Amino acid sequence: MPAGRGARLLRSPGFAVGAAIVGFAAIVALLAPWIVPYDPFAIDLDRRLVPPSFMEGGDPRNFLGTDQLGRDYFSRLIYGTRISMVIGVLTVITSGLIGITLGILGGFYGGKVDDAVVFAITTRLSIPAVLVALAVAALRGSSFMLVVLVLGLLLWDRFAVVARSTTMQIRNLDYVAAAWCAGVSRWWVLTREVLPNIATHLAVVATLEMALAILLEAALSFLGLGVPPPLPSWGLMISEAKEYMFFSPWVIIVPGAALFVLVMGVNLLGDALRDMMGTDLSR
């Protein structure tokens, strides 16, 4: 990457905000066991639905209050960061491996191989992802790893589309075609020309998919078929608290806002990356 691009990326406000949010979330996720004020699973039925400390009726001991089982909301929120981040990253790795492999195969070899890849992408897109994920979770019994696996198996389409089209473009560049004709190995073209050139495009897709995975995990957990209780997934926290939302709206505002901010941060990173490349590609 030329120095100019990197410098422009670092200067863009979107990148700064996005990196700050995601970086902060990553640190919180990593250090969760050491920074939580209380055990996020410790139930205290005598102190249920205590409002956050800054609200009327709040208790300074619980910064963000307690949930319907008296568990410390702030501690649960911190552990929830861990769940969202891990699911986001693992899903991107799984779906990235599937999608990039398929996309490069199709774009690189063309012909029948490409037809098969396009067919796989079309089929995947026609399957309603949320519904299938829910059905699988219901059949196999929901668990953390199952969510990762299902999302990973469902969210590879965009990786494949982008990897395929960029591989094709690069494969058809004059100098690459010339090198090809001159008899260099496929491996050489793939590792020296294709992979480095599609890496930035795939980085953009990775951020988009991570954001989507985080949102979908929350939706699945919200519907009760994602991460199983008592794990403090943000989606599950909203689901468990929604009966109380009309009297204490903060019980859904707190985890929802966390989800919104994290997804926003990931998207900001992706947009900054895309802008950086977009302007460079058009020149």
Partner 1 sequence: MLRFFVRRFAVAVLVALTVLTLAFMLTRLSGDLAISIAGPNATAADVEQIRQVYGLNRPLYVQYLDWLGRALQGDFGESYFFRDRVAKLIAGRMPVTVTLGLVGLSIALVVSLPLGILAAVKEGTWVDRLVGVFAMIGQAMPSFWLGLLLMIVFGLQLAWLPISGVESWDGFILPGVVLAFSAIPSLTRLTRSGMIEALASDYIRTARAKGLTRLSILVKHGFRNAAIPVVSIAAVQLGFMLGGSIVIETVFALHGVGYLAWESISKNDFPVVQAVVLVLALIYIGLTLLADLLNAVLDPRLRTG
> What are the CA-CA distances from residue 265 to residues 15, 78, 84, 107 (Å)?
9, 17, 13, 31
30 binds partner 1 (CB under 8 A): no
Read off the tokens for 115. 């037809």
Q: Quick one: 130 or 178, whose CB is closer to partner 1?
A: 130
Classify 12 as helix, strand or coil.
coil
Q: Quick one: 123 or 172, whose CB is closer to partner 1?
A: 123
Cα 125 → chain centroid: 18
Distance CA 260, CA 243 (A): 21
228 binds partner 1 (CB under 8 A): no
Q: Quick one: 175 or 247, whose CB is closer to partner 1?
A: 247
- Residue in the structure block whose two tokens are 């829910």: 134
Shortest Cβ 219–partner 1 spacing (Å): 5
Q: At what angle do helices 195-222 and 129-140 cross, to 10 degrees?
A: 60
Number of residues that bind partner 1 (CB under 8 A): 42
Contact assessment for residue 215 and residue 259, using Cβ atoms and an 8 Å cutoff: yes
Q: Among 30, 125, 177, 281, which residue interacts with partner 1 (rule: CB under 8 A)?
A: 125
191 binds partner 1 (CB under 8 A): no
Shortest Cβ 117–partner 1 spacing (Å): 13
Q: Is 239 exposed, middle or buried (0-12, 13-18, 19+ CB in 10 A)?
A: buried
DSSP-derived secondary structure letter, 58: -
Q: Quick one: 162 or 259, whose CB is closer to partner 1?
A: 259
Q: Quick one: 10 or 138, whose CB is closer to partner 1?
A: 138
Q: Among 64, 117, 206, 218, which residue interacts with partner 1 (rule: CB under 8 A)?
A: 218
Binding residues (CB under 8 A) for partner 1: these are: 119, 122-123, 125-132, 134-136, 138-140, 211, 215, 218-219, 222-225, 235, 238, 242, 245-246, 249, 252-253, 256, 259-261, 263-264, 267-268, 271
